[in-house]
Amino acid sequence: MSDDTAPDENWGQQFDRLPPTADDRVVDGRPSREEVIDWWDERFGVDPAVFDGYTFWEKGAGKIWAFHGEVVDPIEVEGLGMRILRTRQRHWKPSTNAVQRFCGDATRNVIELSPGEAKAFVDGHDQQLDRWEGDWGYLTAAHEIAGELEPLGVGLYLHGELRSTVPKGRQEDLVKLD
Amino acid sequence: MNPLQRYAPLVDDEEAFFAACERPLPSVVRVNTIKTTVARAREALDDEGVAYEPTDWHPGILKLEDSSPGTNWPYFHGWLHGQEEVSALPAIALDPQPGERVWDTCAAPGSKTTQIAAMMDDEGVLVGNDNNLGRLSALRHNAERLGVTNLVVSNQDARNFSMKPYGERTPERDASFEQFDRVLVDAPCSCEGTCRKNPDVLDEWTMNHVKSVAGIQKGILRRAVQVTKAGGTVVYSTCTFAPEENEAILDFVLEREDCEVVEWDVPDGFETAPGITEWEGDEYDPSVTKARRVYPHHNDTGGFFTAKLEVTA
Domains present along chain A, CATH in parentheses: 2-94 (no CATH), 110-174 (2.30.130.60)
Q: Considering only CA atoms, which of B67, B65, B55, B56 is closest in space to residue B30?
A: B55
Q: How far is B13 from chain A (nearest CA, A)?
A: 30
- What distance in Å separates the CA atoms of residue B222 and residue B252, rounded to the nearest whole number? 9
The answer to whether residue B239 is catalytic is yes
My answer on whether B12 and B42 are in the same domain is: no
Q: Render A91-138 in DSSP notation, one character per residue.
A: S-EE-HHHHHHH-TT--SSEEE--HHHHHHHHTT--EE-TT--S-SEE
Residues B68 and B94 in one domain: no
Whichever domain contains B286, its CATH number is: 3.40.50.150
Range in A7-21, A96-110, A121-135, B254-268 with the lowest mean pLDDT: A7-21
Cα–Cα–Cα angle for A152, A157, A158, nearest 5°? 160
Burial of A161 (0-12, 13-18, 19+ CB in 10 A): middle
Q: Is A64 on the interface with B (CB under 8 A)?
A: no
- In residues, how long is chain A? 178
The answer, yes or no, to whether residue A8 has pLDDT greater than 80, is no
- Same domain assignment for residues B64 and B141: no
Q: Is the dihedral of CA B256, B221, B94, B12 positive or negative?
A: negative
Choosing from B189, B191, B195, B239, which is the catalytic residue? B239
Same domain, B95 and B229: yes
Q: Is A91 on the interface with B (CB under 8 A)?
A: no
Cβ distance of B176 and A79 shorter than 8 Å: no
Interatomic CA distance for residues B241 and B146, integer angstroms: 31
- State residue A11's pLDDT score: 66
CA angle B209–B213–B214, rounded 5-degree value:
115
Q: By mean pLDDT, which of B62-71, B111-120, B137-146, B276-285 is the weakest? A: B62-71
Cα(B293)–Cα(B275) distance, integer angstroms:
6
Start-to-end Cα distance in chain A: 42
Listed residues B39, B61, B83: the one ending a domain: B83
Q: Are residues B52 and B161 in the same domain?
A: no
pTM for this one?
0.96
Last residue of a domain, one of B58, B83, B108: B83
Instruction: State whether residue B70 sits within 8 Å of chain A by CB.
Output: yes
B140 closest CB neighbour out of A79, A148, A174: A79
pLDDT value of position A3: 41
Q: How close B120 comes to chain A (CA, Å)? A: 11
Of A75, A82, A177, the CB nearest to B149: A82
Cα B184 to its chain centre, rounded Å, is 7
Dist CA B297 CA B190 (whole Å):
19
Q: Are residues B57 and B20 in the same domain?
A: no
Asked if residue B215 and residue B143 are part of one domain, the reply reads: yes
Q: What is the pLDDT of residue B49?
A: 87
Pairing of strands B58-64, A161-164: unpaired
Nearest CA in chain A to B34: A101
Gap between the terminal Cα atoms of chain B: 44
The lowest-confidence range among A23-27, A61-65, A172-176, B87-91 is A172-176
pLDDT digits (tens, 9 = 90+) for B12-46: 999 999 999 999 998 899 999 999 999 999 999 99
Which one, of B166, B184, B163, lies nearest residue B175 by Cα? B166
Same domain? B160 vs B179: yes
Q: Which pLDDT does position A2 carry in this prediction?
A: 39
Residue A66 CA to residue A89 CA, distance in Å, equals 19
* Band of pLDDT at residue A174, cut at 50, 70 and 90: confident
Question: Residue B52 belongs to a domain with what CATH number?
Answer: 3.30.70.1170
Amino acid at B47: D
Looking at the 3D structure of chain B, how many domains does it have?
2
Between B149, B155, B173, which is nearest A67 by CB? Answer: B149
Q: Which residue of B45, B65, B85, B149 is the best one to mutate when testing the A interface, meaning the one whose CB has the most A CBs within 10 A? A: B149
Tell me B239's DSSP state. S
Q: Does B264 touch chain A (CB under 8 A)?
A: no
- The distance of B63 to chain A (nearest Cα, Å) reads 11
Across the interface, which of A54, A82, A146 has its CB nearest the CB of B40? A146
pLDDT in tens, B218-234: 999 999 999 999 999 99
Distance CA A27, CA A7 (A): 7
Query: What sign for the dihedral angle of Cα B65, B68, B71, B73?
Result: positive
Q: What is the dihedral of CA A5, A71, B178, B32, to 10 degrees?
A: -130
Beta strands in B79-137, from DSSP E residues, in sequence order: 80-82, 101-104, 125-129
Point out the domain boundary residue: B34, B53, B83: B83
Q: Are B53 and B126 contained in the same domain?
A: no
The Cα of A160 is separated from the nearest Cα of chain B by a number of Å equal to: 26
Q: What is the pLDDT of residue B68?
A: 57
Are residue B165 and residue B234 in the same domain, yes or no?
yes
Same domain, B300 and B261: yes
**Axis-axis angle for helices B133-145, B111-119 (nearest 10):** 40
Residue B61 β-bridge partners? B30
Going by pLDDT thresholds of 50, 70 and 90, the confidence category of residue B67 is low
Same domain for B68 and B204, yes or no, is no
What does each C-alpha distance from B90 to A2, B113, B175 come to in angstroms?
36, 10, 28
Domain ranges, residue B96:
3-25+84-311
Are B44 and A178 in contact (CB < 8 Å)?
no
pLDDT tens for each residue of B68-122: 545 689 999 999 999 999 999 999 999 999 999 999 999 999 999 999 999 999 9
Degrees to nearest 5, angle at CA B87 with B285 and B102 = 75
Which among A53, A97, A177 has the least Cβ separation from residue B144? A97
Q: Cite the annotated binding site of B for S-adenosyl-L-methionine by residue number.
A: 106-112, 130, 157, 186
B290 touches chain A (CB under 8 A): no
The size of the A-B interface in CB pairs under 8 A is 127
Q: Does A147 touch chain B (CB under 8 A)?
A: yes
Tell me, letter by letter, the H, E, C secondary structure of B174-208: CCCCCCEEEEEEECCCCCHHHCCCCCHHHHHCCHH
pLDDT tens sequence across A71-81: 999 999 999 99
Record: contact B76-A54, CB cut-off 8 A: no
Average pLDDT, chain A: 92
